[in-house]
Structures are given as C-alpha cells and as structure tokens.
C-alpha cells in the first residue's frame, strides 16, 4: 500500500481543520452537548456513541500517522 508523505505540520493542519469543523457542527446542531455530558452516564446510548466516536478519532489519527512513514 502506498502512502502519501506528510509532515507533522500537515497532520496538525488536518486535525485542526477537522476540529474546527466539528466545533461548528456541534455549535449549530447540539449546543448543549458540552454542558449536559450525558456520555458520562453508565449504560446510556450517548456513552456508547461517545466511545464509538473516540475509537473513530483514534483510527483517523493512526491513519494520518501511518502516512508519515
């Protein structure tokens, strides 16, 4: 498998862009998310989705880092 060469700066820029997009989306679509914190409640659907999202984020970062090799 061929990977693109990326620098730390490229990875930082990609992550920063994604972060800004997610912040905008949350502000527009779920502004109470940061204060409600339902993902901290054991057994909730929000907790499952939070963990799934976190897993997705880790996978995204690992793919970005893999491209630097």
Res. 2: pLDDT tops 50? no
Residue spans per domain, the chain: 8-66
pLDDT, tens only, 32-49: 988 999 899 999 999 999
Residues 52 and 32: their CA atoms lie apart, in Å, by: 20
pLDDT of residue 1: 35
Q: What does the longest C-alpha to C-alpha distance in the chain come to? A: 43
**How many Å apart are CA 28 and CA 51, to the nearest integer?**
22
pTM: 0.68
When pLDDT is cut at 50, 70 and 90, the band that residue 5 belongs to is: low
pLDDT at 3 over 60: no
């Amino acid at each position: 498998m061929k990977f693109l060469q990326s620098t730390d700066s490229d990875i930082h820029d990609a992550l920063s862009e994604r972060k800004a997009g997610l912040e905008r989306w949350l502000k527009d679509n779920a502004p109470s998310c940061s204060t409600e914190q339902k993902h901290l409640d054991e057994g909730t659907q929000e907790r499952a989705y939070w963990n799934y999202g976190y897993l997705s984020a880790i996978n995204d970062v690992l793919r970005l880092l893999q491209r630097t090799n």
